[in-house]
Amino acid sequence: KAGVTQTPRYLIKTRGQQVTLSCSPISGHRSVSWYQQTPGQGLQFLFEYFSETQRNKGNFPGRFSGRQFSNSRSEMNVSTLELGDSALYLCASSLTSSGETQYFGPGTRLLVL
Amino acid sequence: QKEVEQNSGPLSVPEGAIASLNCTYSDRGSQSFFWYRQYSGKSPELIMFIYSNGDKEDGRFTAQLNKASQYVSLLIRDSQPSDSATYLCAVKMDSSYKLIFGSGTRLLVRP
């Protein structure tokens, strides 16, 4: 069974631009979570989706948004990029509705110049 | 106080030794506990999960949970240089759909 896939793997943007990241969960998994990882803050939860509904949102500004499609694929969008948004963005999928036992994708490394 | 705390390390052990990684958490309602391994430049990889008090063994790995003390640990027996990585403890809070991660402990296994 294929794992979680994320595209693109690397991205360079400039301040003020916006970016959309994509995540395809493991086949059959319906819960998708997004995390931001930086050296200073570690892994921080962004949001979680199940059946196209956002069930939980982390403490991030409204510039960070996401959505989930009927096939469980998910996208996250960051608008008006700031230098501090440079990070590894990780998507994780899980089988159960409780969102446990999450399996991570390879991540998208975003650099904001 | 952080919700999930880990010693950042590095924890240095010789090859063949037992590595002991520790994690404490603040929410007594936490129900599920996970250990992930992350190599430099890679994404976290699930090693083990544990839900009940006591020990859970999987190969060279043993997870230990003590809910009364709000403490979870990971033991790695016969440590290998390939075990050198950052180990992340994650906790699922009761009635939440998110995992809260500790900052990770860097493990270095010396040949």
Share of chain B above pLDDT 70, in %: 97
Q: Is A105 on the interface with B (CB under 8 A)?
A: yes
- 13-72 in A: which are within 8 Å (CB) of B? 31, 33, 35, 42-45, 48, 50, 55-56, 58
Average pLDDT rounded to a whole number, residues B4-17: 94
CA angle B98, A27, B48 (to 5 degrees): 50
Q: Search chain B and give the residue with CA nearest A89.
A: B43
**Inter-chain contact A99–B102, Cβ cutoff 8 Å?**
no
**How crowded is the C-beta side of A45, counted as CA atoms within 13 Å?**
25
- Span B30-79, pLDDT tens digits: 889 999 999 999 999 999 999 899 999 999 999 999 999 999 999 999 99
pLDDT digits (tens, 9 = 90+) for A69-81: 999 999 999 999 9
CA dist., res. B81 & res. B83, Å (int): 5
Among all residues of chain A, which has the CA nearest to that of B40? A39
Question: Which has more pLDDT, A20 or B27?
Answer: A20
Residue with more model confidence, B92 or B37: B37
Burial A84-97 (b: 16+ CB within 10 A, else e): ebebbbbbbbbbee
- Which pLDDT band, with edges at 50, 70 and 90, does A109 fall under? very high
Q: Is the pLDDT of residue A99 over 60?
A: no
* pLDDT of amino acid B94: 65
Tokens of B111: 């040949």
Cα separation, B14 vs B103, whole angstroms = 23
